[in-house]
Amino acid sequence: MFEDRIDSIETNELMVNCSAEVTKGQSQVNDIGYLCRVHIDENTVIQNERGEPIKLSELTTEDVVRIVPVKPQNVKKGKREFTAKEITVLEQVK
């Protein structure tokens, strides 16, 4: 699970900045930005913090989201593409 901003939105997927998760625990961090490709399928729950459903079309770039993958992921090891079980919008940019 990690939280960050949406970089771009495509049909059934988001590109999310996951740099903080990739570099977590490192003392020497370079300035490279890391993006994760998050697939959305018919089982993915998209909601706000109150648990109210949100449509993919209501999301915008720069929204801050918490993503829970279907299976645990180690984005530090280079696998930065996965399907989301749950996407919670923490901060929505209007």
pLDDT in tens, 6-63: 999 998 999 998 877 777 766 665 666 788 899 999 999 999 999 999 999 999 998 9
pTM of this prediction exceeds 0.95: no
Residue 66 near residue 40 (C-beta atoms within 8 A): no
> What's the CA gap between 60 and 74, in Å, rounded?
26
Q: Which of 92, 85, 84, 90 is nearest to 38 (CA)?
A: 84
Which residue reads 């299976």 in tokens? 71
Q: Which of 38, 51, 41, 32 is nearest to 2 (CA)?
A: 38
With b meaning 16 or more CB within 10 Å and e meaning fewer, what string describes 17-40? bbbebbeeeeeeeeeeebbbebeb
